[in-house]
Amino acid sequence: MVMSSIKETIAPHGGHLINRVATAAEKKEFMAKADSLPRVTLDLRATSDLVMIAIGGFSPIQGFMEQKDYESVVDDMRLANGIPWSVPITLSVSEEVAEPLKEGNWVRLDDSNGNFIGILELTQKYHYSKAHEAVKVYRTDEDKHPGVKVIYEQGEVNLAGPIWLLEREAHPLFPAYQIDPAKSRALFVERGWSTVVGFQTRNPIHRAHEYIIKCALEIVDGLFLHPLVGATKSDDIPADVRMRCYEIMMENYFPQDRVILAINPSAMRYAGPREAIFHALIRKNYGCTHFIVGRDHAGVGDYYGTYDAQHIFDEFKPEELGITPLKFEHAFYCTRTEQMATAKTSPSQKEERIHLSGTKVREMLRRGELPPPQFSRPKVAEELARAMQIKS
């Protein structure tokens, strides 16, 4: 057993891990006033943002952003105090919802089922430009982009202020994998890991992922597999299927004593380069010292250059972000060397390389075809095919 005096791997972003989960006394006070408070209903993304703020995943943010932070993040990828932050965290409502709400008062936050889950101390409400946010954050104003579509469909007024989450409840699908930042940090200390690499994906894990993960694992003490299970596009593979694929990989292909599998409860933005920074800072808050950034991280369609998500890290000083990006080329199976490789390690020509897009794999699965073993581990492919057939 490692002594508890071992230092944490890395400081949280901003230097302090935020905890906005209500104490028993605070919850009792909030519940006593529940019926008298004005209500705002959160969608899935806002609900996951509420949770991520409360558990410290978005440290140093303590609530939905006020105008000065919002504008600074949108325009300069920094909070108003200069700390790097790349994606605005906002609660947007309609004019009709915002009008009766008074700054300085509490607002009751309900989930989409009408359950009382949080409190907002309303410090500010303000208008914003949807088109400006879209172009700056997503690099496009096309509503075909899923992130831009969300902006255009949300309300015209942002509500801002610190929040409290009433209670940290177990995840309905993955309670065993719900490891919040304070716990993951403690686990890393317990295992004696001083360097930890985080890996993010919204897609099922395949051989290219496995290759770059294991390359990274060669240079650090431990791996934090952290797939996203918050809101995603309707045509993305469901979270429960992706988690089963990770379990298969854990059981068969990874050294279990050097890997921790946990869920990332945040929602996808599909903001490409900006979201790569966002994802890295989240993993920093969970205690990771390194973060894998592959080809077109958090991208969608053709909106971003192949390696834009890697180049954006060069816009910050390393000490500002405080987490080391591990930048990998597009991995593939090389038929000449008969192993996984990238252009940096393989002498092969284009026709000797097997790599399939997620779209192409989904089309194969819908037809009942399994991706080749050079692309996906057979047990993982079988799980994906089974799930896709059930969905069809």
Containing structural domain, residue 314? 175-391
* Domain count for the chain: 2
Residue 1 pLDDT exceeds 50: no
Enumerate the β-bridge partners of residue 293.
327
Asked whether residue 286 is assigned to any structural domain, the reply reads yes
Q: Is 4 a residue whose pLDDT tops 50?
A: no
Instruction: Indicate whether 246 and 384 sit together in one domain.
Output: yes
- pLDDT tens per residue across span 162-173: 999 999 999 999
CB 291, CB 279: distance < 8 Å: yes
pLDDT digits (tens, 9 = 90+) for 264-282: 999 999 999 999 999 999 9
Which residues form the catalytic set? 202-203
Contacts of 199 (CB under 8 A, 6+ apart): 209, 213, 216, 223, 224, 225, 226, 291, 292
Distance CA 64, CA 50 (A): 8
Domain identity same for 145 and 190: no
Cα–Cα dist 184/130, whole Å: 36
Domain C-terminal end among 114, 139, 165: 165
For the stretch 178-194, what's the b/e string if a residue is b when 16 or more beta carbons lie within 10 angstroms of its beta carbon?
A: bbbbbebbebbbeeebe
Q: Are 192 and 6 in contact (CB under 8 A)?
A: yes
Phi, psi (degrees; rounded to nearest 5) at 29 = -65, -45
Tokens representing residue 264 in the block: 């990332």
Does some domain include residue 4?
A: no
Contact 55, 19 (CB under 8 A): yes
With contact defined as beta carbons under 8 Å apart, do 147 and 269 qualify?
A: yes
Q: Do 66 and 99 reside in the same domain of the chain?
A: yes
Residue 3 has pLDDT above 60, yes or no: no
CATH number at residue 29: 3.10.400.10
Burial of 250 (0-12, 13-18, 19+ CB in 10 A): middle
The pLDDT of residue 299 is above 50: yes
Alpha carbon distance 326, 261 (integer Å): 19
Within-domain flag for 6:
no
- Considering the domain architecture, whether residues 160 and 284 belong to the same structural domain is answered as no
Q: Are 183 and 73 contained in the same domain?
A: no
Contacts 24+ apart (CB under 8 A), 278-281: 278/85, 278/86, 278/87, 279/200, 280/198, 280/313, 280/321, 280/323, 280/325, 281/13, 281/84, 281/85, 281/86, 281/321, 281/323
Which regions of 210-351 does DSSP assign to beta strands (E)? 222-225, 259-261, 290-293, 324-327, 332-334, 339-341
What CATH number does the domain containing 282 carry?
3.40.50.620
Residue pLDDT, tens place only, 102-153: 999 999 999 999 999 999 999 999 999 999 999 999 999 999 999 999 999 9
Q: Are residues 311 and 249 in the same domain?
A: yes
- pLDDT level of residue 312 (50, 70, 90 thresholds): very high
Domain boundary among 122, 141, 165: 165
pLDDT band at 368 (very low <50, low <70, confident <90, very high): confident
Structural domain ending residue among the three candidates 111, 137, 165 = 165
- With respect to residue 34, please indicate whether it lies within any of the assigned structural domains: yes
- 208 versus 135: the higher-pLDDT residue is 135
Is the C-alpha dihedral spanning 301, 303, 307, 312 positive or negative?
Answer: negative
First to last CA, the chain: 49
| 264 plus 379 within the same structural domain | yes
Q: Indicate the range of 44-58, 127-141, 191-205, 357-371 predicted with least confidence.
A: 357-371
Task: Please choose, from the candidates 31, 229, 17, the residue with its C-alpha nearest in 3D space to the C-alpha of residue 117.
Answer: 31
Query: Both 283 and 213 in a single domain?
Result: yes
Is residue 5 a part of any domain in this protein? no
Tally Cβ neighbours within 10 Å of residue 135: 14
Q: Mean pLDDT of all residues in the chain?
A: 93
Same domain, 81 and 191: no
Q: Is residue 1 part of a domain?
A: no
Distance of CA 221 to the CA centre of its chain: 22
